[in-house]
Chains A and B, each alone.
Chain A
Amino acid sequence: MELTRRNAILLGAGAVLASGLPALASTATDDAIDTFTGGAAVGEGDLKLTAPEIAENGNTVPIEVASSTAVEIMVLATGNPTPSVATFKFGSMAATRNASTRIRLAGTQDVVAIAKLEDGSFVQASSAVKVTIGGCGG
């Protein structure tokens, strides 16, 4: 192919599509999951993630994780500059494997929770959260 200006632009666009920001973000998410699971398979099951469908402000988004048998739960915000949010470890005095907190979301995205269960297996749950841009700066 003759390298014309037009072709160079097309090539550039292709490169962005291949390695653009969304792809990078999901790599960081995958890396975080791999580190947590040690590469084990992740299924679905005893884990619930509750988050608002629409968050009024990305600065303070309430979320809850709940499970019957989780020993550890990691929360990731897949669309944040760095996806890690928090990791909850439940000790012998924890009555349930439920916990709530408030998190920051850089924009509309999927929030993902991965739990390590008592039997050593891993499960995942996710929730899409729309983050609105407010009306008045005030």
Chain B
Amino acid sequence: MKYVTGAALASLLTTSLAFADPVDDTLILNEETDMITRTAAPAHLSDTLDEVMSGWLFRGTETRAMQADDFDNPGMIFVEQAQDSWMIAEGTEGKSCSSCHNDMDSMAGVKATYPKWNEEAGEVRTLQMQMNNCRTERMGAEAWGYDKTPAINMEAALSAVSRGLPVNVAIDGPAQSAWELGKELYYTRTGQLELSCANCHEDSYGMMIRADHLSQGQINGFPVYRLKNTKLNGVHSRFKGCVRDTRAETYKPGSAEFVALELYVASRGNGLSVEGPSIRN
């Protein structure tokens, strides 16, 4: 039995302590790719968790099935839209993404390593930041708004070609200070409800929060197609929603704080398969 400290959290969780344990199921994508949805926790988490689990295991039967086949997955509609825009020249340089990167399949594995330290810029960059750097510096095009439709669709397309590969973000070396900041944010209680990420997603995963299952809050499935709003949603927008739900002022998508938090949370899922675009509630 997990020990819940926050009084606010205790009141949110069902009083009967009904457990919504992750299902015992395996995700095979398109009947060919075995996805790693549970694996041993990465070394930096070994004192905290034995096993890390994809949010897929916390969803219902129908939702899980919808993600197992690319045709059934409505998130792939937006991936196809991004695949089209990959080929379209934009900006003053007359270049498209494909002018430099050729076929999108050449990007397989990239998503698995982001957020990532960029030596030249001297900062940790998310994939969306890197995409925008290409747009403004190489294409002479305007940057996309953070988590806005064109950006999130392209991130999903880049994620789609990495599906099945294990998340593998670096947390040491020059990325370490951002990772430490992200870790601090993960464990910092915010808002009137005084909840940290950890209160729900580390201490209480597997329990019900109102009528929904609390997952480990892994982000290997992002961008996610949510049944709720029937579009792709970004990690930072999800962070914002969670922080807002603690009744706090939130950081903005694309802020240094959320970039650091994305790196830290991604590192908690090192070893899980890249799943985006996944289907969640």
Binding site for B on A (CB under 8 A): 52, 54-57, 59-62, 132-138
B59 touches A136 (CB 8 A): no
Please list 20 pairs of residues, one from A and one from B, whose beta carbons are closer than 8 Å in the complex, sorted by A's number: A52-B62, A56-B59, A56-B62, A56-B227, A57-B227, A57-B228, A57-B281, A59-B228, A62-B62, A62-B66, A133-B211, A135-B210, A135-B211, A135-B213, A136-B242, A136-B245, A138-B226, A138-B228, A138-B238, A138-B245
The residues in B between 226 and 252 inclusive whose CB is less than 8 angstroms from any CB of A are 226-228, 230, 233, 238, 241-242, 244-245
Binding site for A on B (CB under 8 A): 59-63, 66, 208-214, 226-228, 230, 233, 238, 241-242, 244-245, 281
A interface SS class: loop
> Closest CB-CB distance, A107 to chain B, in whole Å?
12
Query: In the assembled complex, which residues on chain B have CB atoms less than 8 Å from the CB atom of A55?
Result: 60, 62
B62 touches A136 (CB 8 A): no
Residue in B closest to A60 when the chains form the complex, CB atoms:
B227
B212 touches A52 (CB 8 A): no
Instruction: Report the bound CA distance from A90 to B280 in whole Å.
Output: 33
> Closest CB-CB distance, B216 to chain A, in whole Å?
14
Q: Interface centre among B62, B208, B210, by most A CB within 10 Å?
A: B62
> Closest CB-CB distance, A72 to chain B, in whole Å?
26
Residue in B closest to A132 when the chains form the complex, CB atoms:
B211
> Closest CB-CB distance, B74 to chain A, in whole Å?
8
Instruction: Report the bound CA distance from A57 to B241 in whole Å.
Output: 18
Query: In the assembled complex, which residues on chain B have CB atoms less than 8 Å from the CB atom of A60?
Result: 227, 230
Instruction: Report the bound CA distance from A50 to B114 in whole Å.
Output: 41
Instruction: Report the bound CA distance from A52 to B281 in whole Å.
Output: 15
A136 touches B241 (CB 8 A): yes
Residue in A closest to B63 when the chains form the complex, CB atoms:
A56
Instruction: Report the bound CA distance from A133 to B210 in whole Å.
Output: 8
A137 touches B241 (CB 8 A): yes
Query: In the assembled complex, which residues on chain A have CB atoms less than 8 Å from the CB atom of B211?
Result: 132-135
Given contacts A57-B227, A59-B228, contact A134 B212 (CB under 8 A): yes
Residue in A closest to B61 when the chains form the complex, CB atoms:
A52
B281 touches A134 (CB 8 A): yes
Query: In the assembled complex, which residues on chain B have CB atoms less than 8 Å from the CB atom of A62?
Result: 62, 66
> Closest CB-CB distance, A138 to chain B, in whole Å?
3
> Closest CB-CB distance, B6 to chain A, in whole Å?
15
Q: A59-B227, A138-B226 are in contact. List 14 more A-B contacts (CB 8 A).
A: A55-B62, A56-B62, A56-B227, A56-B281, A57-B227, A57-B281, A134-B228, A135-B211, A135-B213, A136-B241, A136-B242, A138-B228, A138-B233, A138-B238
Instruction: Report the bound CA distance from A138 to B229 in whole Å.
Output: 11
> Closest CB-CB distance, B281 to chain A, in whole Å?
5
